[in-house]
Structure 1
Amino acid sequence: VPYMDYVQNTNSTNNTGAREQNSTTCSLRIPQELFLTLGLISLVENILVVLAIIKNRNLHSPMYYFICCLAVSDMLVSVANVVETIVMLLTEHGLLVVTPEMLRHLDNVIDIMNCSSVVSSLSFLCTIAADRYITIFYALRYHSIMTTQRAVTIIAMVWLTSITASILFIVYHSHTAVIVCLVTFFCITLVFTAVLYMHMFILAHVHSRRIMAIYKSRRQGTSMKGAITLTILLGVFILCWGPFFLHLILILTCPTTPFCTCFFSYFNLFLILIICNSLIDPLIYAYRSQELRKTLKELNSFGVLF
């Protein structure tokens, strides 16, 4: 169990769950305080995004419901990181004494939260891409296709699937099939989203003229702005989570070669990137959405940040 390995000061380059420490020459040590600081900042940011979407009725639409769920997915990473780091720091300084059984249960909970986060994040990125696709190419029928009830059903299905899959992944974490499933899911969702975006950006110009001629409105421009926002989110997700999934792939292909062993030793850096993803996402929401940015300023003026 990765977390127990840390507490017991053992080394393992094949861990894929919680944080680990390595003593190889390639090892990169990152202060636990940095994990804690980044985790707290990203947690506050994502809480503000969720509160802003709940507070502003203008943001009560399927796309922002999905974005709200994406923020909750990021919060799972932040909460798991903060809890894990606090326990590590208290254990290191002798302020907390826990039994191996407690550590095992804690590690399982943290791993389930992290796994649920990546599965749900990928699922909601795909869902948002599909929502933007419908908005652009089926604008006249969008409200009949993507109803609030249907959006809520999709959200419930994604969370149920994510949590169930995560529990199964952790229960059978020692099986190679688990890593294969995670990597395959990552690749499939990226291909699906990329195909939708390519189709959107190739044909959007033609459709924009047709829809503008009918609507005489800015709906199409807004839809494309939403598509661009989600493209940025997807790019950031790939950059931040990519090294972690490469780590999983190398575990399957070359677990003992010098290069792979050295690569594994940078696992803590990959975790920092994952936390940075949950920290950067809210900044993208706020920068790309004037309505959300306005609501966040109002929350700030009410002292919610403090």
Structure 2
Amino acid sequence: MDFNNSSLRYLHVEFNPLTEIMDENETNSTLGERNLSSCVQIRIPQELFLALGIVSLVENILVILAIIRNRNLHSPMYYFICCLAVSDMLVSVSNVVETIFMLLNDHGLLDVHPGMLRHLDNVIDVMICSSVVSSLSFLCTIAADRYITIFYALRYHSIMTTQRAVSIIAVVWLASVASSILFIVYHTDNAVIVCLVTFFCITLVFNAALYLHMFVLAHVHSRRITAFHKGRRQSTSMKGAITLTILLGVFILCWGPFFLHLILILACPTSPFCNCFFRNFNLFLILIICNSLIDPLIYAYRSQELRKTLQELVLCSWCFGM
């Protein structure tokens, strides 16, 4: 069994033969060898991957169950948040499955046919890629939802109906899975990396433009609203916008190094500095898993209704376990 090309943790090897490039550099360049040998490489134990993956998985399952259980959370915004939790859950599931396989392999407890292993790798890759595309898409969708809530408050329920929200969710998931399959099929083509990085940049610009417009004009807009109940709605909408701003900021911090990794694969695959960056890929994966772990905490902290439902679920689970 060869886990050297396994899934996301070795995605840089699959997208570009960096291992061969690094070997060639070490053979042909003494300076390159010295630079690579002086690289600081942070080693991450597999047990840490497994622990974080399990905690993240449990958290996101609780968020999904809480939104399903509480009828007060049955609104388009929380449907989109639920889908964002599902995207995070894909990262957790793929990480847990892959880590278990790697640990079993390391201890000589698993014997899997190479063909089956390749199929497993492809499934995990599709899950991870779907998570990236769907997370970015739902962040944009939530930003648009908050924008409509703030600037078209009186028409919000006619614009963002439940049926329309479900249609948007279906389109996002179909597009995410379809594009992920295409990305994995053509993973050896640099165009795949270009597409991912371009999509990442476009979504960031889109969200930044909406948030900037919301926060600059919301203050002016709120002055024109004198009725108490409408002022309250405005305050709630801005709270939702702030929550999603925090989510977007955490996403950029946690996924940023991964996308920088992809950019460097295109820009400087043979550079000793870039090769040093590539060698800490597992650290970037820990950040990605941390994003899946932090998001549910943000939901709970920013939403009193969701926090209350989560507490009830945890208490019921504990009592049932007793």
Q: Is TM-score (shorter-chain normalized) higher than 0.5?
A: yes
Aligned to 2:252: 238
Q: CA deviation at 1:188?
A: 0.1
Paired residue secondary structure (1:283): helix
Q: Structure 1 stretch 217-226 or stretch 196-205: which is displaced more?
A: 217-226
Q: CA deviation at 1:213?
A: 3.3
TM-score (norm 1): 0.93
Structure 1 vs Structure 2 CA RMSD: 2.0
TM-score (norm 2): 0.88
The CA deviation string for residues 126-176 of structure 1, in whole angstroms up to 9 with x for no partner, is 000000000000001000000000000000000000000000000000001
Q: Distance in 2 between matches of 1:276 and 1:73?
A: 13
Instruction: Say if 1:14 and 1:255, in contact at 8 Å, map to a contact too.
Output: no
Aligned to 1:259: 273
Aligned to 1:225: 239
Q: CA deviation at 1:208?
A: 1.5
Q: How does 1:50-199 map to 2 (within 5 A)?
A: 50-199=64-213
Aligned to 2:29: none
Q: Is residue 5 of structure 1 aligned with residue 4 of structure 2?
A: yes
Instruction: Say if 1:4 and 1:104, in contact at 8 Å, map to a contact too.
Output: no
Identity %: 79
Q: Distance in 1 between matches of 2:62 and 2:124?
A: 23
Paired residue secondary structure (2:3): helix
Q: Is residue 42 of structure 1 aligned with residue 56 of structure 2?
A: yes
Aligned to 2:47: 33
The CA deviation string for residues 250-270 of structure 1, in whole angstroms up to 9 with x for no partner, is 000100100100000010000
The CA deviation string for residues 248-294 of structure 1, in whole angstroms up to 9 with x for no partner, is 00000100100100000010000000000000000000000000000
Letter in 2 for 1:122: L
Instruction: Say if 2:126 and 2:177, in contact at 8 Å, map to a contact too.
Output: yes
Paired residue secondary structure (1:5): coil
Letter in 2 for 1:185: F
User: Would you tell me which structure has more helix in proportion to its own residues?
Assistant: 2
